[in-house]
Amino acid sequence: MWDLLILNPMVNLLLLFYRLLGHQTVLAITALTLVVRLAVLPLTLKQQQSARRMQELQPELAKLQKKYANDKEALAREQMKLYREAGMNPMAGCLPLLIQLPLLYGLWQAIMRTLAASPMELVRLSQNIYSFIPGLTSLIPLQNRFLWMDLGQPDPYYVLPVLVVVTSWLSQKILTPPSTDPQSAAMNQQMLIMMPLMFGFFSISFASGLSIYFIISNLVTLLQYFVTPRQKPAQAVETEEPKEAERPKGPERPPRPPRRKGGRR
């Protein structure tokens, strides 16, 4: 079922792009990555939106934490109330991620399968190609040379793994909402280091064609983040101290105004 619904369409789409784009494997991987990212765009936007709204709620959450520092139950209740009033579901960021993961894993698998660096992968590939599209099997094996690399092998000079780590860190950084809870903040910090390192490890261990996918994918994430319009602060949120959050001066630092599209403040 997985092959039928996810893997086979992606493998064949990759082969079609390869044919259309002059037998350039890197271009074909880029095109497929863009198409899949476009397909999951609504979900990604939802995830980013959720992260941003969470970011905007941080000052309110900080206040609640301070106020109910000794009453965990009340804190949880008030937090949920705040989320409800802000019209957001705290798990809203997870769902799009969960839906995207199979697609992104399928994309990963399709690239590895189509690059067929090993004979075993090539045998498996024979079962993924649509016979009703003429000429696809004649494209096998894909042109695997790109610059100094064999796309079916890891980059021997570690240029791609470094790029993967850097772009993963940047995209992870912008997607991670800041947290007022010290435990969560520490966890986020750990994730910010571990996830890029993990992708770097993949990049060292697997075909460099996969690193191309990681880099393109991370660049798309960054691009999406910078071109999508920012939401205004949660003005509609009413807490027990609604005015406090809006007051520019006070004992606590006011929330940072959102960045404007295309410019810095």
Q: Which of 174, 173, 213 is nearest to 191 (CA)?
A: 173
Residue 226 as a binder of other proteins (CB under 8 A): the answer is no
CA dist., res. 168 & res. 222, Å (int): 10
Residue 156 exposed, middle or buried by CB count within 10 Å (0-12, 13-18, 19+): exposed
For the window 200-219, what string marks contact with other proteins as x by the rule CB under 8 A?
-xx--xx-------------
| Cα–Cα distance list, 171 to 58, 175, 181 (Å) | 20, 6, 22
Site for other proteins in 105-164 (CB under 8 A): 105, 108, 117-120, 122-124, 126-127, 131, 137-138, 140-141, 156-158
**DSSP label of 151:** T
Paired tokens of 213? 């996918």
8 Å CB contact between 207 and 154: yes
Cβ atoms within 10 Å, residue 244: 15
Q: Which of 54, 122, 125 is nearest to 87 (CA)?
A: 54
Nearest approach in angstroms of CB 189 to other proteins is 10
For the window 45-84, what string marks contact with other proteins as x by the rule CB under 8 A?
---------x------------------------x-----
Using the contact rule CB under 8 A, the part of the chain among 12-20, 93-101, 211-219, 254-262 near other proteins is 93-101
8 Å CB contact between 146 and 194: no
Nearest approach in angstroms of CB 225 to other proteins is 17
Using the contact rule CB under 8 A, the part of the chain among 3-11, 198-206, 231-239, 242-250 near other proteins is 198-206
The contact set with other proteins (CB under 8 A) reads 54, 79, 90-91, 93-94, 97-98, 101, 105, 108, 117-120, 122-124, 126-127, 131, 137-138, 140-141, 156-158, 177, 179, 181, 183-184, 187-188, 191, 194-195, 198, 201-202, 205-206
